[in-house]
Structure 1
Amino acid sequence: MLSLAMKTLRARKGAFAAAFLTLLVASTLITACGLLLQTGIAGGVPTERYRGTEVVVTADQSFHTEKPKKDRFEPDTPDSPDQLKERIRLDPALAAKLAAVPGVRAVVPDVSFPVTLGKQTPGAPVLGHGWDSAQLTPFELKSGKAPQRPNEIVVGQRAGLKVGDTVDVQVNDAPAPYRVSGVAEPSGGEFAKQATVFFTPDRATELAATGGRVDAFGVLAKPGTSVDALQESLEKALPAHGFEVRTGTDRGAGEFIDDGNALALLLALAGSFGGIALMIAVFVVSSTLALSVQQRQREMALLRAIGTTPRQLRQMVSGEAFVLGLLAAVVGCLPGFPVGKWLLEMFQGFGMVPREVELVNGPLPAVAVVSALVVAAVLAGLSAVRRAAKIRPTEALGDAATGRTLIGKGRLFTGLVLAAGSVALLIASAFLSGVAAAGAASGVAILLIIAIAVLGPVVAKVIAFLAAPLMRRYRVGGYLASANSTTNVGRLAGSIVPLVLAIGFGCVAMFVQTTQVRVAEESGKTSITADYVLTAPQGIPASVPAEIAAVPGVSSVTSLRQTQLKEELPPGTESMNDAIDTMVVSPGDLGKTLDLRPSQGDLTKVRGNDIAVSAATASSLDVSLGGSVKLRLGDATLVEVRVVSIFEREQGLGKIVVDRALVAGHTNSQRDDQVLIKADASALPVLKAQFPDLVVADGASVEAARTGALRANMWINLLVVGIIMLYTGIAVVNTLVMATGARRREFALLRLVGATRKQVLRTTRWESALVVVSSIILGSAVAAATLVPISIALSGSPMPYVPPALYFGLIGIVTVLGLAATEIPARLALRLKPVEAIGIKE
C-alpha cells in the first residue's frame, strides 16, 4: 500500500500541500526550541575567576524535596527540584573531605561580596575575595606583596591605584581606609564581567558575613590526574544530592549564580513553547488530514467497494502521512538552526540569557523532531481514516454520496467529558485564590480548545442552525451559504477549529502577561508612598539608611530588597506552591513609605522572626494572625516564623515582608536594592551631595525599573506567541484554501444550473463571514473563561487588562486571513468554464 500512497501523493499534490507546509513550519519551530533546550542543558557561561582550576565544587542550586510514599516499603526518592535564586553556601569543614579524595592537590575556598572602592565609577562591579583564592585564576602580583594585615588589600590594574595608596573601601559598614599592598593581574587578561579586590582570608570571611560558609571550593588536581577521573572521584565522595561537581563551561554557572539560573529559565521557556508548537501542529495537521480524507470519500468508498480491506486503507493513509511527515520534518528542521540562533539572540537582547551563552548545535534536536512529527502525522492520518476504514463495502458508496453530519458516540463522549472538565475547572478556580486559582484557570483554555476540536462537527451544526434564520433572509447568497453550512458541517468545523485555536490561544498568551504587568504597576504605584527612592548599580550598603535618616528633613527611611521564600511541608507531602516573592525591609514605621493596606496586626512589629503576609498568602499557608509557620529561605535554610500582620496589597512588591536580620547571610548580597525616603524638598540637595554614587528619584520614576523584569517577560512571551501565531496563521490559510479549492466542481454545478459568478462569490463570502464571526465569538469566549478567573486571582477584578490595539489587531489579522483565504481560491476556481470544471476529477 506504500506504493499506492506515493501515487495518491503525486496525484493530489495540492490537497496535501497544506499538511506538508504545516508540518514543515512546525519542524522549524520545534527544532529551534530543541536547540534552546540543548543549549540550556549542555551550554554554559564562560568562567572568569575559576579558569585556572580544573574542578569547582558548589552547592546544588536545585532544592530537592521527597515524593510522598505510596507504601512504607517504597524508598525515598527526590521530587522535581526547585531552582533557587539565592546562593546556597557550603560548610568550610567540607574542605577536609575533598582534600582526602585521591588525585586532589589542594582545595581552595572562595567567598565573594560586593565592594565599593573609593570614588567608584560605573562599569564592571567590584567583588571582594580572600587572597588565598587568587590561585584559582591565577592572579600574579605585578608589584607589592600579598595583604598581611586586616587593613591591606590587593587591587587589579584597572583600579588605577599603586602600592602604598590609601583608599576608602565600603562593604556593608561605613567606609574605612585600606592600604594597597599590591597590584595584581589575572592570568589570561582582565575579566569582562567584574573587577577584583583581595583581602586577607580572615578579613574576607568577616566582610562576607555568611557565618563562615563559602561560595565554592576550587579543587586543584595533582600532576597526571585527569579531570574526568577527578570529577568522578569527587562525586563518589559526596552525597547524591546537595552538591555539584563542575568542570568545563559548567564552572561559569557556579561562579555567576544568576547566569546559571538564566540557563534553567531557558530550559523552561524552550520546553514550554516547543510543547505548545507541537500541540498546535497535532491539532492543525489532524484537522487538515481529516478534511483531506473527507474530500476523498468517494475515492475511499470505491476502494472499499472493490475489496480493499480496512487494514489496507489504514496502511495507505498512514503511508501518505508517513511520507509527508518525514519529508516535511527533514526539510523543516534545517532552517530551525538559524531560527534557534535568532531566538537565543532575542532572549539575550531582553536580558533573560547572558550574552556569553552560545547556541549548542547538534543533531539530537533534529532527530527528535523528525521522529516526533512523523509519529504525530501517522497518528493524525490514522485518526482521520478511522471511520472510512470501518465502513462496510456495501454502505461505502451510499455514505460517500450522502455524507456524514455528526460524529461517533466515542468522540461525542470524549468531547463532552473534556467540556465538563473545563467547566469543573472554571468553577473550581472561582473558589481558589492566588497561584492556585491562576493555575486552575490556565487549564480551562487548553481543555476548551481540545473539546471544541473534538466536538467540531457538533459545534458547527449548532452554529449553522443558529445563523440560519438570519442568513436565509438574503435570498441567493445567504440561503445557499446556510444550506451548505448546515449540510456540510465537517467542512465548516475544519475551517472554524484552527481560527478558534488562533484567537483563544493568542488572547490567553498575550493578555495574561499584560494583566500581570498592569496589576504589578498599579499596585506598586499605590504601595510606594515614599517621596524619594535611592538605588545603586551594586546595591546599597547596610550602613547607608542610618546615615540617610540623619539628614535634616528626612522623616522616615526604609531599606528594601527582594528575595523568595518557600513553604516547608511535612515529609511525604507533595507541594503545589511556587516560591513566594518576599520583601526584605529594615525594621521601622513602614506605614510612612509603604502602603500595603494592613488588615490585621501591625507592620511595625516585623522584626527578627516576626513577619507580615498578604491575605491570600496567609490562606495558602493556612496560617492566621499570631500563628507560626515553617519556611525555607532563599538558600533553602529552614526557619520558623510568626505572623504579626496581614495585609491586602500583594501584587506590587511582594507577598511576605521580613526583617533583614532574618535573611542575613542567606542572600546573594547583603546590600539593599532600594532605600525609600519620606522627606521634604529641602533634604534633596543634601542627599545628592552626601551620596553622589546613589541615584535619587521619586517613586513614579523608579517604577519602570522595578517592573522591568515583568515587562521583559511580557515581551519575550509576545515574541514567541507572535512566532507561533504566524505558524498558526499559515496553517489556517492552508486549511481554508484547501477547503475552498476542493469545491471547483460544486461551483461549476451551481453555475450550470443558473447561478452567476457574483452569486457564487456572494455565497462563499457569507460562508467565510460565518466562519470568522463564529471563530471570534468562540475564541474570545475561551479566552474570557481563562482570563477572568486569573484577573480575579491577581487583582480581585473580573476585568483583565486587554489593550484594545492588541485585541483588535489580533481579530483583524484573523479576519483578513479568514476572508482572504476563502475569497482568493474561490475567484481562482471560478476562472474555469463551468463545463471544464465539472469534469475535473476529485
Structure 2
Amino acid sequence: MLRTALRNVFAHKARLLMTVLAVMLGVAFVSGTLVFTNTISRAYQKSSAKGFDRVDVAVRPAHQEGPAHREGRGHRAGRTADLTQADLDRSARVPGAASAVGVVGGFTALAGKDGKLVGNGFQSQGGNYSGARDPRYPLVSGTAPHGAGEVAVDSETARRTGYRVGDTIRLSVDGPVLTPRITGVFTTDDGNVAAGGSLALFDTPTAQRLFGRPGAYDEIDVTARPGTGQTALKAQLDRALPHGSTETTTGRQLADDQARTIASSMSGLRQSLLVFAGIALFVGTFIIANTFTMLVAQRTRELALLRAVGASRRQVTRSVLVEAFVVGVAAAVTGLVAGIGIGAGLRSLMGSMGATVPDGPLVVTPGTVLAALAVGVLVTMLAAWLPGRRAARIPPVAAMSSVHAQASTRSLVLRNTLGALFAAAGVAVVLAATTMNGTDGQAPMGLGAVLLIIGVFVLTPLLSRPLIAAAAPLLRGFGVAGRLARQNAVRNPRRTAATASALMIGLTLITGMTVMAGSLQQSIDRMASSAIRADYVVSMANGNPLSPEVERTLRGTPGVTALSPLRNAPARIGGGTEYLTGVDGRAIGSLTDLAVDEGSFTVGGTRVVVDSGTAASHRWKAGSGFTVVYEDGRTQRLTVAGVYRGNDMMRGIMLDTAVLAPHQKDPADMQVMVKTAGGPSAAAKDRLAKALGLNPAVKIQDKQDISDGIARMFTLMLNMLYGLLAMAVVVAVLGVINTLAMSVFERSQEIGMLRAIGLDRRGVKRMVRLESLVISLFGGVLGIGLGVFFGWAAGELLGTRMATYELVLPWGRMALFLLLAAGVGILAALWPARRAARLNMLAAITSE
C-alpha cells in the first residue's frame, strides 16, 4: 500500500502541483512572519543591549513607575525628585566604581532643511553629551558641543536630512525655537534612532537648563572597575546613596527588561501577521480537500479493486494520508525556503519605507522550522483525511458500478440542516453582540462570525443552484457555450461550493474591513466638523502639553479673532478623581458646536458645563451644584450651567481658565483652538506658524488637516490589510485553476464528443472560461454580502461608543471587488481552457 501511494503521488504530479502551491503559500506566510519578527526582535535586542554595555549599575530617583526607558528620560511618571550633583559625586567615589555619568534628556524636535519635523514626534529626543569625549556617543566627525549655541546630532539624522558639521539647525525643546550650530556628528545604539527617530545632544549645563533640571539629573550610569561585579557595585551604591531617595538596577537587569519589552511589542505584530497566515491556510484547506476529493473520485475503481483483492478500509485511508503526507512535506520545505525569502523581503521593505532597522543576520530558529513542517504536514493530512475516509467506506462492488457517484438524499438533508443551524446561530450571536457595550461584544461577535461563515460554507452547495441560475439570462447570450457552462457549474455543487468558498472568505474579510474603515473615517470627519467651529487647532507634535506662552503669543497675533486653550487638570469630586478642562469662557462657545441637552452652554466664574456621560454618572442636571477639590488642596463650589453631548474629541467638565489657573503649579495646555478673520487659508496658517517662530515641535492643523491625517491612517491600515489578504485571494485563484483542471480531465470524453458534433475550439475555451467566471462571481457575491453584514454589525458595536457613527457602503469599492472576482475567474481559466481546447477529440472519446 505504501508503494502504491507513492506511485500515485508521482503519477499525478501535475494534478497535485496546485495543492502543493496552496499549502506552500500558507506555510511561507507563517514561516516568513516568524523569521521577520524574530529577526527584527533580535536585532533590536542586540542594538538595545549595546546601549547598556557601558552601564553596570543605573541609579534613579526612587518610586519611579515602571522600568526605565533610556530614550525618553525627560518624561518619566512618578518621579519624586531629581538626582543631584552630590548624588553623582557620591556615586563616582564608591569603591569599585570606575566612572559615573549623569544623564538628562527629553523631547527635542529637530526641523529638517525643508522646515518639517524630522522623524516621528514621539521619537525625537535630546540629551546631554558628558565631557570632552563621551564614550556613549562616539564622534564620527566634528567636536563635542559646548555652550547654548552648539549641538551634536546622530549620524542617521545627519544622513537623512543632509546636515553637516557647521550647519545651523532649527530645534525646539518644549519652548521657543533655537538655532544652534552643529559641532559634531555621532553614532549611537539608541533604539529610537534605529526606529527612525532623532537624537540631539547638548553639553550638560545646557541640557539641564533646556529640560528643566538645573543642576540635576534623570539618571546616573555607573561603570565598574575591572574585577568588580555588577551585583557587588550595586550593593556598594545602595550603602553610599541616601536610603529611600534612590534606587539602583544592574545593567544586566536593564538589558533583560528591555529585551522583554521589545519581545512583548513584537508579539502583537507577530500575532496579527499569523492571523492572516491562518486565513490563507484556512482557504488552502478547502483546495486541498477539494483536490483529494477529486483525485479519490477519479481513482474510485482503482481503490475498489484494492479493496477487492484484500486491502482493508484502514489501509485505503492510510494510502490517501501517505499521499497527503508526501505533498505536505514537499509544500512545507518549499514554503519554509520561500518564508525565509519573505522575511528578508519584509525587512528590506521596511528599509525602503524609511524605517531604519538595526543590522543583523536573518534569524531562523528551530521553532520556525518545526512550525513550518507541522503546519504544512498537519493541514494537508487533516484536509485529506475526510476524502480518504469517504473513499474507504464505499463498498467495492458499488464503486466498480459507480453507484457511489451521487450523494444520498439523507446526506444532503443532514448537511443542509447542519448548515442552517450554524448560520442561524451565527446570525443570532452577531445580532446579540451588536446590542452589547464596547469590548463586551467583541468576543461574541467573533464567535458569531465564525459560526456564520461555517454555516454559509456548509450551505454553499444548496445556495449555488439558485444563485448560478440567476446568471442564466446573461449566459444565454453566449449560446451553447453559455448554457453548458451554467450546467457544468452546478453539476457538482460540493465541488463548486468548495472552490467558491475559498474566494468568499477572502472577499468577506476585505469587504468587511473596507466598510468599517470607510464608516469610521466619515464618522470621525463628522465628529470634527460638527464639534469644532475653530479654524485651527494648535498642539505639540508628540502629544505633550503646550507651554502657556503659545496661547499668549497667538492671542497677540494679527488676524486672530478668538481663541481658547484646552487645559487639563486633575481634581477630586465626591471621593473620585475627575479631569477638569480649562477653557476661555468668553470664546469657547464660538469655537465649538456641541449640542446642549439641558440648560445653556455658559462658562464663566463658578458656572461650568458638563458632558452628558459625566452628568449621568454623578446624577447632575442643569442647576446642580457640586464641590471640587483642586490639585492644590483648595475647595470651591461650582454650578452646572448646562449639559452637552460629548464625543471622543471633547468631553468632561469645562470651566474658565481664570478660575482654574490659580490652583495650578505648572499650567499647560493640551491644545489651543484658534479662529481667524476670513477663515482658514494658507496665508492665515503661515501667519500663525511665523508667530510661533516656525517651531517644528508645534502642529497647526485645520479641519482638513485633521481629516487628512485620519484618512492617511485608515488608508495605510487598509493597504496593509489588502496586501496581507491578497495571499488568500492568490490561494483562491489556485483553487479555481485546480478545480477547472480536474473538471476538464474528468470531462475529457464529454469535451471530445462536443468537438465531434460541431463545437469548435473557441467554443470549448469560452465554455470553460464562463464556468470559471460563474463560480468566481458566485463566491464574490457571497463574500461581499457577508462582508457588508459583518461591517454593519461591527459598526453597530462601535456605534455604542461613537455617537456620530453611521454605516457607509463603499459602492465603488464593492463593484471593484466584484470585478476582482470576475478577473480571478478569467485568469484562473486561461490554462484549463487552453488544455480543453487542445484535446484530441478521437482520443478523448475512446478514453476510459
TM-score (norm 1): 0.71
49-58 or 591-600, which moves further after superposition?
49-58
Aligned partner of 2:126 in structure 1 is: 127
Cα deviation 1:299-326 (Å, max 9, x = unaligned): 3333333332121112111111111111
Is the 2:152–2:202 Cα contact (8 Å) retained in structure 1? no
* Match status 1:402 vs 2:405: yes
Is the 2:317–2:389 Cα contact (8 Å) retained in structure 1? yes
Output the CA distance in 2 between the equivalents of 1:412 and 1:208. Answer: 73
Aligned partner of 2:274 in structure 1 is: 271
Aligned partner of 1:137 in structure 2 is: 136
* Match status 1:587 vs 2:583: yes
- How much does 1:798 deviate? 5.9
Is the 2:133–2:144 Cα contact (8 Å) retained in structure 1? no
Aligned partner of 1:635 in structure 2 is: none
* Match status 1:319 vs 2:322: yes
Q: 1:188 to 1:437 in 2, by over 3 A?
A: closer
Is the 1:6–1:320 Cα contact (8 Å) retained in structure 2? yes
Aligned partner of 1:787 in structure 2 is: 791
Is the 1:130–1:200 Cα contact (8 Å) retained in structure 2? no
389-398 or 409-418, which moves further after superposition?
409-418
Q: 1:513 to 1:405 in 2, by over 3 A?
A: farther
- How much does 1:536 deviate? 6.0
Counterpart selection for 1:557 from 559, 563, 570? 563
Cα deviation 1:116-147 (Å, max 9, x = unaligned): 7999976574625596999782689x999999
- How much does 1:327 deviate? 0.7
Counterpart selection for 1:744 from 739, 743, 748? 748
Output the CA distance in 2 between the equivalents of 1:500 and 1:746. Answer: 30
* Match status 1:541 vs 2:547: yes
Output the CA distance in 2 between the equivalents of 1:654 and 1:483. Answer: 60
Q: Which amino acid aligns with 2:344?
A: K
119-128 or 389-398, which moves further after superposition?
119-128
Segments of structure 1 that go 5 or more residues without pairing to the other structure are 64-85, 235-241, 564-581, 628-641
678-687 or 706-715, which moves further after superposition?
678-687
Output the CA distance in 1 between the equivalents of 2:667 and 2:105. Answer: 11
Is the 1:171–1:207 Cα contact (8 Å) retained in structure 2? no
* Match status 1:342 vs 2:345: yes
Alignment of 1:48-197 (within 5 A): 50=51, 53-54=54-55, 110-115=103-108, 125=124, 127-128=126-127, 137=136, 156-157=151-152, 171-172=173-174, 193-197=198-202
Cα deviation 1:662-682 (Å, max 9, x = unaligned): xx9xxxx99877532123259
Is the 2:344–2:362 Cα contact (8 Å) retained in structure 1? no
* Match status 1:813 vs 2:826: no
Cα deviation 1:245-268 (Å, max 9, x = unaligned): 87699699699x9x9997465334
Residue 198 of structure 2 aligns to a residue whose secondary structure is coil
Q: 1:710 to 1:138 in 2, by over 3 A?
A: same
Is the 2:26–2:278 Cα contact (8 Å) retained in structure 1? no
Is the 2:567–2:583 Cα contact (8 Å) retained in structure 1? no
Aligned partner of 1:577 in structure 2 is: none
Cα deviation 1:622-667 (Å, max 9, x = unaligned): 887689xxxxxxxxxxxxxx9998765746x478799999xx9xxx
Output the CA distance in 2 between the equivalents of 1:297 and 1:643. Answer: 82
Q: 1:710 to 1:290 in 2, by over 3 A?
A: same
Is the 1:291–1:494 Cα contact (8 Å) retained in structure 2? no
Residue 333 of structure 1 aligns to a residue whose secondary structure is helix
Aligned partner of 1:387 in structure 2 is: 390
Residue 156 of structure 1 aligns to a residue whose secondary structure is strand
* Match status 1:495 vs 2:499: yes
* Match status 1:532 vs 2:536: yes
Cα root mean square deviation, aligned: 5.9
- How much does 1:519 deviate? 3.0
Output the CA distance in 2 between the equivalents of 1:611 and 1:132. Answer: 54
Output the CA distance in 1 between the equivalents of 2:426 and 2:567. Answer: 40
Aligned partner of 2:810 in structure 1 is: 802
Counterpart selection for 1:678 from 675, 679, 683? 675
Is the 2:304–2:396 Cα contact (8 Å) retained in structure 1? yes
Q: 1:605 to 1:414 in 2, by over 3 A?
A: farther
Alignment of 1:511-522 (within 5 A): 511-522=515-526
- How much does 1:440 deviate? 5.2
Q: 1:672 to 1:282 in 2, by over 3 A?
A: farther
Aligned partner of 2:429 in structure 1 is: 425
Output the CA distance in 2 between the equivalents of 1:377 and 1:618. Answer: 58
Q: Percent identity?
A: 21
Q: 1:737 to 1:405 in 2, by over 3 A?
A: farther
Residue 700 of structure 1 aligns to a residue whose secondary structure is helix
- How much does 1:780 deviate? 1.6
Is the 2:429–2:447 Cα contact (8 Å) retained in structure 1? yes
- How much does 1:348 deviate? 5.6
| Residue-pair matches, total | 753
Segments of structure 2 that go 5 or more residues without pairing to the other structure are 69-74, 155-162, 238-246, 570-577, 625-638
Is the 2:347–2:357 Cα contact (8 Å) retained in structure 1? no
Is the 1:405–1:490 Cα contact (8 Å) retained in structure 2? no
Output the CA distance in 1 between the equivalents of 2:566 and 2:361. Answer: 37
Residue 194 of structure 1 aligns to a residue whose secondary structure is strand
Cα deviation 1:790-825 (Å, max 9, x = unaligned): 334357666334261x33332222213224534652
Output the CA distance in 1 between the equivalents of 2:462 and 2:233. Answer: 65
- How much does 1:376 deviate? 0.9
Output the CA distance in 2 between the equivalents of 1:606 and 1:16. Answer: 77
* Match status 1:35 vs 2:35: yes
Is the 1:92–1:213 Cα contact (8 Å) retained in structure 2? no
Q: Which amino acid aligns with 1:53?
A: R
Q: Which amino acid aligns with 1:362?
A: V
314-323 or 831-840, which moves further after superposition?
831-840
Cα deviation 1:86-121 (Å, max 9, x = unaligned): 96566679999x99x999878877553235799997
- How much does 1:233 deviate? 14
Output the CA distance in 2 between the equivalents of 1:825 and 1:671. Answer: 69
Is the 1:173–1:542 Cα contact (8 Å) retained in structure 2? no
- How much does 1:44 deviate? 1.0
Aligned partner of 1:78 in structure 2 is: none
Is the 1:44–1:250 Cα contact (8 Å) retained in structure 2? no
Q: Which amino acid aligns with 1:275?
A: G
Aligned partner of 1:3 in structure 2 is: 3
Is the 2:521–2:710 Cα contact (8 Å) retained in structure 1? no
Output the CA distance in 1 between the equivalents of 2:830 and 2:386. Answer: 30
- How much does 1:783 deviate? 0.8
Counterpart selection for 2:306 from 298, 303, 323? 303
Aligned partner of 2:17 in structure 1 is: 17
* Match status 1:709 vs 2:704: no
Residue 207 of structure 1 aligns to a residue whose secondary structure is coil
Q: 1:355 to 1:757 in 2, by over 3 A?
A: closer
Q: Which amino acid aligns with 1:716?
A: M
TM-score (norm 2): 0.71
Output the CA distance in 2 between the equivalents of 1:808 and 1:830. Answer: 32
Output the CA distance in 2 between the equivalents of 1:189 and 1:654. Answer: 40
Aligned partner of 2:572 in structure 1 is: none
Q: 1:613 to 1:302 in 2, by over 3 A?
A: farther
513-522 or 152-161, which moves further after superposition?
152-161
Alignment of 1:476-487 (within 5 A): 484=488, 487=491
Kindly name which structure, 1 or 2, has the bigger radius of gyration based on alpha carbons: 2
Is the 1:60–1:244 Cα contact (8 Å) retained in structure 2? no
Q: Which amino acid aligns with 2:400?
A: L
- How much does 1:368 deviate? 1.5
Residue 832 of structure 1 aligns to a residue whose secondary structure is coil
Cα deviation 1:453-476 (Å, max 9, x = unaligned): 344434445656777899899996
- How much does 1:12 deviate? 1.3
Q: 1:561 to 1:779 in 2, by over 3 A?
A: farther
Q: As a proportion of its length, which structure holds more helix?
A: 2
Aligned partner of 1:734 in structure 2 is: 738
Is the 1:56–1:219 Cα contact (8 Å) retained in structure 2? yes
* Match status 1:835 vs 2:842: yes
- How much does 1:690 deviate? 3.0
Is the 2:101–2:220 Cα contact (8 Å) retained in structure 1? yes
